[in-house]
Amino acid sequence: MSLELRYTEHKDRYYLTSYMRHGFFEIFKNHDNRPLSERPEWLVNIINIAHIGGHFLEAVDPPPERILWFAVDSDFNLLDINIFGD
């Protein structure tokens, strides 16, 4: 099973919303509007990879300042980044 996630940042806060491949399914209610300093290690690792690889979408009319779509497995291992393609 894979889980599609939308990560955004605004100022010193982050927001994480989850999506299933066949419909919407929220499991990250506790990751909505949290300080960047409280991101779990698995998420920080993915964000670092996205930053180095230039995978963040540019916001045309912020906020948010940074947007990233990606997919993880049930153990939060990164499966795909920029799931909509370039």
pLDDT for 40-54, tens place per residue? 999 999 999 999 998
- The predicted structure's pLDDT at residue 85: 54
One-letter amino acid at 56 equals F
* Overall average pLDDT of the 23-37 stretch: 67
* Percentage, residues of the chain above pLDDT 90: 43
* Overall average pLDDT of the 40-69 stretch: 90
Tell whether 86 is covered by a domain.
Answer: no
* Percentage, residues of the chain above pLDDT 70: 80
Tell whether 39 is covered by a domain.
Answer: yes
Range of the domain at 10: 3-81
Q: How many domains does the chain have?
A: 1
* Nearest residue to 17 (alpha-carbon basis) of 51, 53, 68, 62: 68
Tell whether 45 is covered by a domain.
Answer: yes
Tell whether 55 is covered by a domain.
Answer: yes
> What does the DSSP assignment read for 49-86?
HHHHHT-PEEPSSPSSSEEEEEEE-TT--EEEESTT--
Whether the pLDDT of residue 24 is over 50: the answer is no
Tell whether 32 is covered by a domain.
Answer: yes
Sign of CA dihedral 19, 84, 51, 53: positive
Mean pLDDT, the chain, as a whole number? 82
* Overall average pLDDT of the 27-36 stretch: 71
